[in-house]
Structure 1
Amino acid sequence: MRAGHYAGAFFFLFFGASTASATNPGFLPGDCCFLTNLTQEKVKDLQNSNSPTFSYKVPDPLSMAFCGYSGYWRLEIPDMPQAQRAALKAAYESAREFQPRELTELKDSETGRLEVIESNPLRVLVVNRDFDFKRYGVLGKYNEAWPKESLAGAGGFFGGGSGSTPARSYVPIVQNAEIVIQEWYHGSEVAPLAVELPAPLEATVGGKPVLQPAKAKKPLRFIVLPERFESYVKPEDGTSLYVVDDDVVEYRYHPGDRWLKAADWEKKQDGVEEHLRAVDAQPKSPPSGW
């Protein structure tokens, strides 16, 4: 961990991470994950596309500024295995058993037509297949190059024609100092997402997002989160996520053992219930003094 990272951590703790930078950053070189959403419509589209494209979704849409864009906003998975596309569908359907779809009507500002959208999409992290989510969690970008890539260029940290507003400030997945410090501390241990970029980072800075997709260099992994990002800061017992390679594996959080496969978590719960039943079945001693 570089000394500059300690300075960055201090800056976050003292001032807070910026959620309204002079440019809205998408996926940046060095990020270990590409953030996207999964809806019923997207699941259907996946089954008919051999090389699907996913759109980058900022963690908090309300934080978007009106000062242009930087980074990359599309990710293509060339020749995505049909088994993995089917596994994503299975993960979505399983998650919806506990988190049903919520639909909202929105009026198109240009046509005036009402559109029905899925207002609670599942959050997804696209990561390398060797990414160890049990060790590093699911809320960090682990971008070792962030001070160089995110703050250099486009006017530098205090540039961009916006006075003291960062040209490309750090935008975390969640506003949590401990997680940001963990990102900086372990940044050198986590490999960047294996993608081929369509253009140099400097060429992505402008008034519109770059829609030419980055392309995966090798098979990637999808981590599907049924709950809001904030629920994974300090997960409660039973909080779930799905890991999708060419099949889907559900994990649940257990305070003592962290992330367990769902079947192992259920065994833990059964063991607790058996213990409680055994305690209840024991003869009750009369109160003292009888």
Structure 2
Amino acid sequence: MGGLLSSGSSGTWKDDGSEAVQDGQDGSFHVSGKAKGDAPVCALYSEAISSGEYFEVTCEQLKESAFIGISTEAAFAKGYKCRGLFFGGPGNLANGGGLLRGNFGDGLQTGSVVGFLSDIESSTVKVTVYQGGRCLGQAFESPLQDPSAPIFPVIQAKADGDKFRIVKATPPKERRREPAGGSHFAVGTWRVEKLMVGPELGEFPLASKMDGKPVLLTIKEAEDKKFHLSAKVANTINFQVVLKEDPSAAPFEAVEVAGGMSTMMMGTPGEMEVESVLKLSEVRKWIFNESLLLQGPTLEVSLLPAVEEMPPVNEPL
């Protein structure tokens, strides 16, 4: 998340005509008096955002789904008639009335923090979304129907008692989509960047052997101190990783890797050579410091997160 600039704000939240937006005078509002039905209550923040400005919304209380985004006063309306660029619900992108893309992030719940960074260039706005400190990447690259119209934060809420708070913050440096990861630093999908093999740990010509195709490692938590590791070259090769207590390995974390069950596909000669030298059962320790590093007596594997960028949605604002 970005660095906090203020604990509250001087702005207020504008009601959509439902009379259910109860402004807290400190950057917060809660929903009270919502009419029955599925249509959301929409709230527009009174302070417009400028290019490069970043804001975060915390869902302090959330009983049902909510969407957080940006809009203009002309597009701000009651319920599903409101139009804008939104992220929320189960982790989707929406325009205020309909789905634009699913599975962009995780679902919102009480305590969720969503950040919006908007870059406005003449007649286009580019929006990068953050969730819980993780950059989800650029969500929108949208034409502005009225480039002179100010843009405001907007929230669509669904239930009485829902409460939100907005703050402005220092924009995060990261703009690329980051891996979801897990509770352990090794969890995620990784791309092998460098492969060192043999007693002298000489660099293996990975790129030429793979003809530019990536070698991917996926690590998932199985249970306490145990992980599933799968390597994808021509075949998928599966291993089990167990954390070991070995203070002498510090600052690395000691591991034991076992298994090596593989599918039986025939790849190119280069791919088969990579599989023959990628002896992950030799790994004895790992560490994360900007990249994931696996080390063994005759093997060293450097990996970077393998995250597929999603093309931004083009939706007029």
TM-score, structure 1 as length reference: 0.23
Higher helix share: 1
Which of 1 and 2 has greater Rg?
2
Higher strand share: 2
TM-score, structure 2 as length reference: 0.22
